Structure 1
Amino acid sequence: MATEFMNYRDDKGFNISDVFMQLVIYYIQEELKKPQYIFSNKNLFIIGHEGIINGYQNGFLALPWKNIIVDINEEQIMIQILQTVKSSLRNKGDFITVSELQSIQTEDEYFKHFYSKKPFPVEELIKIIDALIEMIQGTWTFTNYDMEILYY
């Protein structure tokens, strides 16, 4: 399980295992695909996220956002997506079930194995999303934060 540095601007970000970013990106992608969200480069967003979800970037995973989001309006749309994902996740209860985790379409066999044994705590995904929101808003102050996810 590789650890990657996630950042959006000014080299501020956090270190996190890529298998956790794959999971959060999956839920973001499910919301992002909806037609009400307009981005200049939406197809690049989708392609970049699909590569992450399928494990193609494991070991060198990076958020494609800073190269795709073109202005403050698109940043606000991304924040709206992240807020909606948070609400959707909270509606699942305290945990994402193993059956839901296993239903995620991915070509990454490690992902499938990793999430095959126990449910995933929703609040741990919320923690990641909150950090992503702060990074987009420019309020994230850490340059080398280790995002500890309580799941093992």
Structure 2
Amino acid sequence: MDYKGKGFITSDIFMELALYYIHEEFKKDQYIFIQKEILTDYHLMVINGQMGGWFAFLWDEYISDSSEEQTMVQILQKVKDSICHKGSYISLEELQAIPTMDNDFKIFYNKPFPTADLIRILDALVLMLQGNWEHEAYDMHINYYYSPL
């Protein structure tokens, strides 16, 4: 993930999950973006696994100005609040109900997902948008595959 030269490294399947929740908030009519249609198409490509194995984070190309950056920060904060209200884990039932054309998604997410890991991704995205993320290639290690649940 890269935004204005700063970023972090994580698996595309984790960004697929994060962008699903981000997009669910982003698509609401109250949010105005000059290139909302392009961002929507991009989000759906990621959610549907069409960027699996190769993932480019395109917000810096399609978020037009500081006002849109602040709107995206608001979206991320709402998503974070929503994720926090889920408790410690996103349930397996919820993960399996996520609409995606990515056949690997439902195979990979075969147990509850720790909300703390998704919140780490959201926090990093907020810091990147605010210009406060200092890392260029931070390893956002998520140990979901080997976690005990």
Q: What TM-score results when the alignment is normalised by the length of structure 2?
A: 0.95
Q: Where does residue 119 of structure 1 map in the other structure?
A: 112
Counterpart CA distance in 1 for 2:118 and 2:127 is 14
Counterpart CA distance in 2 for 1:76 and 1:59 is 30
Deviations 1:28-65 (A, max 9, x none): 00000111111001111110000000010111111121
Counterpart CA distance in 2 for 1:67 and 1:96 is 31
User: What secondary structure sits across from 1:13 in the alignment?
Assistant: strand
Q: Where does residue 86 of structure 1 map in the other structure?
A: 80
Counterpart CA distance in 2 for 1:112 and 1:30 is 18
2:21 maps to a residue whose letter is: Y
Indicate which of 127, 143, 147 corresponds to 1:150: 143
1:82 maps to a residue whose letter is: L
Counterpart CA distance in 1 for 2:108 and 2:71 is 31
1:135 maps to a residue whose letter is: M
Q: Where does residue 46 of structure 1 map in the other structure?
A: 40
Q: Where does residue 106 of structure 1 map in the other structure?
A: 100
Gaps of 5+ in 1: 1-5
Q: What TM-score results when the alignment is normalised by the length of structure 1?
A: 0.93
1:50 maps to a residue whose letter is: L
Counterpart CA distance in 1 for 2:18 and 2:137 is 20
Counterpart CA distance in 1 for 2:137 and 2:78 is 27
Percentage identity across paired residues of the two chains: 52
Indicate which of 124, 131, 138 corresponds to 1:131: 124
User: What secondary structure sits across from 2:64 in the alignment?
Assistant: coil
Counterpart CA distance in 1 for 2:43 and 2:137 is 23
1:115 maps to a residue whose letter is: Y
Indicate which of 2, 9, 15 corresponds to 1:7: 2
Q: How far is the alpha carbon of 1:150 from its aligned partner?
A: 2.6
Gaps of 5+ in 2: none
Q: How far is the alpha carbon of 1:112 from its aligned partner?
A: 1.0
Counterpart CA distance in 2 for 1:112 and 1:39 is 31
User: What secondary structure sits across from 2:71 in the alignment?
Assistant: helix
User: What secondary structure sits across from 1:14 in the alignment?
Assistant: strand
How many residues matched?
Answer: 145
